[in-house]
Amino acid sequence: MTSSFLHFIDNNTPSITGLLATLDILKNRVPEEEQKKIRAARVFLFYSEGPGCITKFRFKETEGQINRLIVIDKTLTRELLKFDPTEIGAEIMHEIGHYLNKEPKDQGASCEFFADDYARRLGFSASLGSGLKKYILLIERMEQQGILFFREKEKQDKILELLRVRIERIKTSAPLFTGALDLE
């Protein structure tokens, strides 16, 4: 991975979000002395690709106080997706689900099911489903205009497929995955 003078809350952020080219440009254009200053200033960059996400937040200053950071993209959720307040609420509950309703191995597409099921269990099925539907429609509408929402077509197709499966699970009231939650 390109070493950067910027810090990331999540070390995978640059490669996951396709920031590597941007980081290269910054590295080449910003004078070395300034890079040192910026690095010392401990400025952290977080770059979100979706309507919302949850990430680890581990700084010494906040140890024991903040475990995770949830980021909701206001422009995306309100203006582009036109989420209503309950749909934004469902999105937030989904993100909390990533932390509280963790799948045993914490990998793969099923982590989305576990996160969904946390929101579903708390009564957000309908709003979670309608939000996901809006998300699919936006991605498809952009693609029709020749704009990829995600970096690569292949990645986008996979995400769209997963979004459809998630909607189907919600519609058919699929059994709830309860992961790490201590449920009866």
CB nearer to Zn ion: give 26 or 162: 162
Rounded to the nearest 10 degrees, the angle between the axes of helix 110-121 and helix 125-144 is: 140
- Min CB(94)–Zn ion separation in Å: 6
- Min CB(103)–Zn ion separation in Å: 11
Cβ-proximal residues to 123 (8 Å cutoff; 6+ apart), any chain: none
The answer to whether residue 167 forms part of the interface with Zn ion (CB under 5 A) is: no
Q: Are 50 and 81 in contact (CB under 8 A)?
A: no
The C-alpha atoms of residue 27 and residue 133 are separated, in whole angstroms, by: 39
The answer to whether residue 159 forms part of the interface with Zn ion (CB under 5 A) is: no
Segment near Zn ion (CB under 5 A); pick from 29-37, 62-70, 113-121, 168-176:
113-121
CB nearer to Zn ion: give 6 or 51: 51
Tell how strand 68-72 and strand 52-56 pair up: antiparallel
- Min CB(22)–Zn ion separation in Å: 24
Site track for Zn ion across 73-112, x = CB under 5 A: ---------------------------------------x
CB environment 31-44: b (16+ within 10 A), e (fewer):
eeeeeeebeeeeee
The answer to whether residue 115 forms part of the interface with Zn ion (CB under 5 A) is: yes
CB nearer to Zn ion: give 39 or 155: 155
The C-alpha atoms of residue 94 and residue 53 are separated, in whole angstroms, by: 9
- Min CB(53)–Zn ion separation in Å: 7
Counting every residue written for the chain, the total comes to 184
Q: Where along the sequence are the contacts to Zn ion (CB under 5 A)? A: 112, 115
